[in-house]
Structure 1
Amino acid sequence: AGVRVATRDPIADTLLRLLTGEIVAIKGLGGFHLVCDARNPEAVERLRARKGRGGKPFAVMVANLASARRWARLAPAEEAVLAGAERPVVLCEKRPSVDNELWGVAPDLDSIGLMLPYTPLHYLLFHDNAGRPAGTDWLDEVQDLVLVMTSANPGGEPLVTDNQEALERLKGLADAYLMHDRDVLSRCDDSVMIAERSALAGAREAPRFVRRARGFTPRSIRLAQKGLSVLAFGAWLKNAVCLTRGDEAFLSEHIGDLDNPGVCVAMDQAAEHLQRILAIQPEAVAHDLHPDFHSTRAALALADRLGVPAIGVQHHHAHIAAVLAEHRRSGPVLGVALDGVGLGSDGGAWGGELLRVNGAAFERVGHLAPLALPGGDQAARAPWRMAASALHRLGRAADIAPRFAAQRGAAQIEVLLDKPHLCPTTTSMGRWFDAAAGLLGVCERMDYDAEAAMRLESLAASYGSALRAHRGWTVREDEAGAELDLLPLLAELAGERNPARGAAVFHATLLAALEDWIVAAARRERLSKVALGGGCFLNRQLAFELPRRLSARGLEVLTARQAPCNDGGIALGQAWVAIQQLQPGN
């Protein structure tokens, strides 16, 4: 289970191993990292293969801001977040030097995840690399050492925290281990953030969470009013739980995706941990509407055991409610929920929604046009399938087989799409991103969540500004409100031969379409406030440019700042809705 190395200088020995291409498991504050030299492509590729990571980007640690500037074009807001006491990973615009010298760290993306040292052990490694100089000047001097720092969580399991556990579970992943005798009492991954790059933002724009964990949890989020204590169990992906006490909400650290049994256990432990450290027994529980989620089942089991109410909260209502909770508002607002998928109150797969939200109540007043999902859940991982769905809607089904001949099953997709009862549909914004990426050949199969959207965004940034598509969308009224259809935009992309230009056109048109759709709905509903939620708002154009445009049109725009806009913030919204529902008189 591991052989103790006889060494008088574990720091120097660890650095030597890293510089000679080994992968070292290093114990940190919230668990272990798997670490290698980011400048060594063989080591990076070996780590990628061992973790089964596909093309998913790695975060890297550098010595200081001066060193970070060598690898990224840092905006003032990004520097402030990087150097903050919380030390999150910050997604920054990478320089060409990254692809030239840190090959394989962040392939096909325009961003690199950077972080600075945050434990004495990290500083000792960089001090040793600097030649162990006297004084403190070295802390601000440029260093060439760049370390890949990825969570030691084999196979999507929870982060490894214990020394003996590391020797057993990381066998075959790590070549060596650097440990200490301080136990990790609460598992906690690195936080990940984005900050505004535009000069228009100044210092006023708050950074946004991609993942809220180390450095920020269990920091409370202040609510507008006191209510019953609610334990909310979150969503299926990017799970986090939330416990309220009085007028405070305590959102747990990022736990992970509940398709892994170990993560399900970790979720149960996180819920118990919050109850223990806050000395609170919940007076109600809240959960997603999906009956098959482990989070839903755990919530119902706890409610039954404690004899307290269990409140189901629709996924997209919870996204908007999370934003309202941190801004201490109750509505009415126009909620714009754009994400990958969530179970709708009608049993459908929602993900591009306009909701009129007023406290515990909501009404669906608009949605994106539905796209068929050929192969069901398979389509969410294969953008070429969503592209085929778009071609079928465009009346170009005959183009599917020759266009995607290299993809297994391409010849059968047309037959599947011709039978609506075999193809569920979705209003998901994420699937429209996938369809665009598939049509442009940017990404036909995904190795990790939102890969197609991230690569599409990076390509658009590389091209620069572009004119929006001519008549790129339509809006029509149906029984669920205003339906925004982007099919005319996809028709243009289907014939585009320059993927970068196509990606830029997609973003320019999408921004214009969303702006008009949202403003028209707000006027129709006589609402002056708009709340934006859902994972698609991690796209920089949607995160920063769309709010600016909506503000310029006279709307007050609320966005997620203290919790992630993605499913990592869902539990906060669930708890808030439950509190509203349990208020006297509701």
Structure 2
Amino acid sequence: MRPEDGSSDVRRRLLLRVTGTVQGVGFRPHVHALATGLGLAGTVRNTGGRVEIDVEGDRAVLAEFRRALLADAPPLASVASVEARPLPGTGARGFAILPSAPDAAHASVPSDTATCGDCLRELWDPADRRHRYPFINCTHCGPRYSIIRAVPYDRATTTMAGFAMCAECAREYHDPSDRRFHAQPTCCPACGPRLVLRGEDGDPIERAAELLAAGRIVAVKGIGGFHLACDAADGDAVRELRRRKRRPGKPLAVLVADLDAARALADVEDPAPLTARSAPVVLLPRRPGAPVADSVAPASATLGLLLPYTPLHHLLARRFGRPYVLTSANASGRPLVYEDESALETLADAVLTHDRPIHAPADDSVMAVFRDAPYPLRRARGLAPRPVRLPVAATRPVLACGGAQKATLCLAAGNTAHLSPHLGDLSDYDVLRRYVRTADYLRSLLQVTPEIVAHDLHPDYPSTRYAQALDGVQALAVQHHHAHIASCLADNGATGPVIGVAFDGTGHGPDGTVWGGEFLVADLTGFRRAGHLEHVPLPGGEAAVRAPWRMTAAYLGSDASHLPVATDRPVVWRAVLELLRSGLNCPPTSSAGRLFDAIAALLGGPAEVTHEGQAAIWLEHLAAPSAAGRHQARLTEDDPFRLHATDLVRAALTDLDAGTPPPVIASRFHHGLAFALADGCELVRQRTGLATVALSGGVFQNLLLLDLTVTELERRGFAVLVHRQVPPNDGGLSLGQAAVAAATGQASADAGERVAYQGVQDARAAEGRP
């Protein structure tokens, strides 16, 4: 008997709807080649943010087709789901690629991707027509997000629109069997962008390499913006670059030509993070005597290395012949330069540029490696706007606005959340302008109109003010540390409840104090404060963030009078002690970041910091990895409990007075804090029965603390969630806010109510306030 769908016992027809990042990544040619190779009939087309496949043939062959559809998908494709529906059989023959449907404007947007192996072979092949051409790309690599002006994603809506394809490129573009089929940026020396070294004659690559060798600074136009490059072994050049960029201490990234060059500078146990198609900067342990200037990464045990990710970078690396610094072309605190080349006049001696415009800028992504897997610290070029799957679908579209530093935006609809690239510190007006443009760009590109806008609880964050100024949306304030834990939950596809440990520098607490060392009982819809680091005064408010020694004074008072500032600047020292005695301009804080500042200053770390986390990073790298012992800290038994961080600071002072070497003291502090953190989780488990811990917040960029904490928690039988897709720092806040908005929206919809976020109310109730 013939089945009702019109198929036979051996022949069947299916309509497959494939969602995810499946447009602009060679998915239709993949389907075409697979279907024709298996002798199947039908069609494939882009439509409404997905690929639709109408396929007919032998049932057993169809099963093989569905298996290979995912197993052999193109490298840039990311399949979220495949829906299948039977259709009446037609007996059709042949397989065709149809034009995109009119509603294909809802496609996921592919990220910019490093040059693939096939294109590199062409780059170095003297017989190839694209030999040494700096803009080689294909369906499997090259610019995507950075060149798209509008949707649908077609050449006419990219910054390649002004480059008419030559006959040979057009033939490749229209041939379904060619790997450049519908590769929108495809081009060659006859029809594509041109490279120039502004103000210089001769071969641009040759001359740029000569300038680098002469100790000069060259601006290089990458996929997402300009970089500043100089010889990484030339200390004078590096120091001059720092002077111009106004970046006195923060480590600089170094580009190496290949893995062998990377291994000469750092320990590369697993090359996968370096060779990933996103081509991030990867922080790796620095080899003793590595041939780079000390000024590249002063007082740091790691180097940030990246491999070339465009043909231009490959060409320059091979011609120069040794590692070169490659850092974003902007003065400290300013947005990345990508458009106005006049902004480079005071930064670079020469500008290596081209005429392919950048529409959507993106800084480099940064990764660490934790337990043999990538651990993101900055999510930007190569990763954004790659979607993250939400554990609870957003039934109403959400725009989440992130924080104030390391700002990102997140646009969510259904189970899909798209994060913007890292945007920076919104206190800079031009960064804020780019933030607003990026929000508009994502909404237009993804064709999503938000109905809910989620933002930080802090009323004075620029992101909060932006959110509250939007018309026609429902605003939802999400507490900072709950957003951190929610981002870790979403990162791991979990909903909670969990014990959430959110350790960072600053976050606005519902009680009006500055939070930053929090133990929460949390799920995606709410939280309560189960414990925290004891509150200490923040002498001078923001001034204490810039001067770590102020926090040593906050913890120890006059007992810290041996600090250099007490003798070098006695008037200032006495003024701070008086400030602490009076309590004026000393807001209370539970900040874990400020605890690290206090210990670092006590052990001889930077008295003044020039970039976020500088003192804490110094302290992490100071710690002797094999030192024995740990400091101890008490927990109170009240609810919420308090962890006495002062015990850790006083233990460090006692060790110092006894002549213990600072590296040993730093190690004992890290071990003591990890053990105390596990004690706090143990207490929460006794009170709640919860046995899963989520770790988030900028302090957990410290891999030593992270490893010690995870090890101790797992030893005690806890399951531990850490970040893998988004950073633990404020760069992940927007995902957490979106996840909270989606979950609370769903809960309210289930109850027939408006969105009602209980997080802040629950926290206030726990503090005994209305």
In the superposition, the TM-score normalised over structure 1's length comes to 0.91
Q: Distance in 2 between matches of 1:3 and 1:118?
A: 20
Is 1:530 the counterpart of 2:698? The answer is no
Cα deviation per residue 1:162-188 (whole Å; 9 max; x = unaligned)? 2xx12x111111100000111111110
Q: Does structure 1 residue 292 correspond to structure 2 residue 460?
A: yes
Matching of residues 102-181 of structure 1 within 5 Å: 102-130=293-321, 145-162=322-339, 165-166=340-341, 168-181=342-355
The CA distance in 1 between the partners of 2:605 and 2:650, in whole Å, is 16
Using the TM superposition, give the Cα deviation of residue 535 of structure 1 relative to its aligned residue in structure 2, in angstroms.
Answer: 0.5
Q: Distance in 2 between matches of 1:174 and 1:398?
A: 44
Q: Is the 8 A contact 1:243 1:275 kept in 2?
A: yes
Structure 1 contact 153–160 (Cα < 8 Å) conserved = yes
Structure 1 residue aligned with 2:547: 382
Equivalent in 507, 512, 518 of residue 670 of structure 2 = 507
- Does the 8 Å CA contact 1:35/1:150 hold for their aligned counterparts? yes
Structure 2 partner of 1:82: 274
The superposition leaves residues 357-414 of structure 1 with CA deviations (integer Å, 9 ceiling, x where unpaired) of 133211101000112111111101111111111112xxx4583687632246112111
Determine whether 1:211 maps to 2:378.
yes
Deviation per CA, 1:52-101: give whole Å up to 9, x if none.
1111111100111111111111222xx21011111100111101223x64
Q: Which residue of structure 2 lines up, in the alignment, with residue 26 of structure 1?
A: 220
Q: Which residue of 1 aligns with 2:264?
A: 70
CA contact (8 A) 2:226 2:336 kept: yes
Superposed CA deviations along residues 23-69 of structure 1, whole A, max 9, x for unmatched, are 01100000000111111111100001111111111110011111111
Report the Cα distance in structure 1 between the residues aligned to 2:677 and 2:666, rounded to whole angstroms: 16
Opposite residue 210 of structure 2, the aligned amino acid is: L
Q: Deviations over 1:534-567 (max 9, x none)?
A: 0111111233332232122111111111111100
- Residue type of the partner of 2:281? V
- Would you say the 8 A contact 1:388–1:400 is kept in 2? no
Deviations 1:460-510 (A, max 9, x none): 04x5333112xx21111345x110012222112224142212111111211
**What residue in structure 1 maps to residue 708 of structure 2?**
545
Letter in 1 for 2:373: A
Residue equivalent to 1:568: 731
Q: Cα offset for 1:420?
A: 2.1
* Cα pair 2:517 2:532 within 8 Å, conserved: yes
Q: Which amino acid aligns with 2:295?
A: G
> Which one-letter code corresponds to 1:113 in the other structure?
G
| 1:12 matches 2:206 | yes
Structure number having the greater helix percentage: 1
**Helix, strand or coil at the partner of 2:392:** coil
CA distance in 2, matches of 1:155, 1:70: 30
Q: Which amino acid aligns with 2:613?
A: A
**Displacement after TM superposition at 1:436 (Å):** 0.4
Instruction: Give the Cα–Cα distance (whole angstroms) in 2 for the partners of residues 86 and 124 of structure 1.
Output: 19
- Aligned-pair distance for 1:531? 1.0
Amino acid in the other structure paired with 1:490: V
Alpha-carbon displacement from aligned partner over 1:199-231 (angstroms, at most 9, x marks no partner) = xx4xxx431111000110100001123221100
Identify if the C-alpha distance between structure 1 residues 384 and 561 changes in structure 2 by more than 3 Å, giving closer, same or farther. Answer: same
Q: Deviations over 1:300-346 (max 9, x none)?
A: 111xx2x2210000000000011111222222111110001100111
Q: Confirm whether residue 53 of structure 1 aligns to residue 247 of structure 2.
A: yes
Correspondence for 2:368: 194
How many Å separate the matches in 2 of 1:401 and 1:521? 37
Alignment of 1:402-481 (within 5 A): 404-407=566-569, 409-461=572-624, 464-469=626-631, 472-478=632-638, 481=640
Letter in 2 for 1:577: V
Q: Which has the larger radius of gyration?
A: 2
Distance (Å, rounded) in 2 between the aligned partners of 1:321 and 1:279: 25
CA separation of 1:245/1:468 partners in 2, compared to 1, >3 Å: closer, same or farther? same
Q: Does 1:490 align with 2:649?
A: yes
Other-structure match for 1:96? 288
Cα deviation digits, residues 129-186 of structure 1 (max 9, x gap): 35xxxxxxxxxxxxxx111111012242211112xx12x1111111000001111111
Give the conservation status (yes or no) of the 8 Å contact 1:384–1:404. no
Find out whether 1:257 has 2:425 as its counterpart: yes
Taking structure 1 as reference, are residues 291 and 148 closer, same or farther at Cα in structure 2, changes over 3 Å only? same
Deviates more, 1:518-527 or 1:274-283: 518-527
1:324 corresponds to = 489
Q: Following TM superposition, by how much is the alpha carbon of 1:447 offset from its aligned partner in structure 2, in angstroms?
A: 1.5
CA contact (8 A) 2:205 2:315 kept: yes
Say which SS state the counterpart of residue 682 (structure 2) adopts: helix
- Alignment check: 8 A CA contact 1:354 1:366 kept: yes
Say if 2:400 is the partner of 1:232. Answer: yes
The 3-state SS of whatever aligns with 1:298 is helix
Partner of 1:244: 412
Q: 1:381 to 1:61 in 2, by over 3 A?
A: same
Do structure 1's residue 359 and structure 2's residue 524 form an aligned pair? Answer: yes
Structure 1 stretch displaced more, 486-495 or 568-577: 486-495
TM-score normalised per structure 2: 0.69
Task: Please give the alpha-carbon distance, in whole angstroms, between the structure 2 residues aligned to 1:35 and 1:458.
Answer: 26
1:340 is aligned to 505
Q: What is the one-letter code of the residue matched to 2:649?
A: L
Identity of aligned residues (%): 45
Q: 8 Å contact 2:197–2:351 — kept in the other structure?
A: no
Cα distance change, pair 3–184 in 1 and its aligned pair in 2 (3 A): closer
What CA distance in whole angstroms lies between the structure 1 residues aligned with 2:197 and 2:646? Answer: 60
Q: CA deviation at 1:516?
A: 1.6
**Aligned mates of 2:310, 2:601 — CA distance in 1:** 42
Which range is displaced more, 310-319 or 66-75? 66-75
Report deviation, 1:446: 0.9
CA distance in 2 between counterparts of 1:578 and 1:542 reads: 31
Offset at residue 415 of structure 1 (A): 0.7
Which of 475, 480, 487 is the equivalent residue of 1:315? 480
| Deviation larger for 358-367 or 26-35 | 358-367
Q: Secondary structure at the match of 2:610?
A: coil
Structure of higher RCO (CA pairs closer than 8 Å, 6+ residues apart): 1
For the residue of structure 2 that corresponds to 1:229, the secondary structure is: strand
Q: Which residue does the alignment assign to 2:26?
A: none
Q: Which residue type is aligned with residue 57 of structure 1?
A: P
Q: State the match for 1:369 in structure 2.
A: 534
Consecutive unaligned residues of structure 1, counting only runs of 5 or more, are: 131-144
Residue 134 of structure 1 is matched in structure 2 by none
What code does the residue aligned with 1:297 have? R
Gap change, CA 1:403 and 1:253, over 3 Å in 2? closer
Q: 1 CA distance for matches of 2:617 and 2:210?
A: 35
Query: How far is 1:520 from its partner?
Result: 2.1
Structure 2 contact 503–700 (Cα < 8 Å) conserved: yes
Paired residues in the alignment total 548
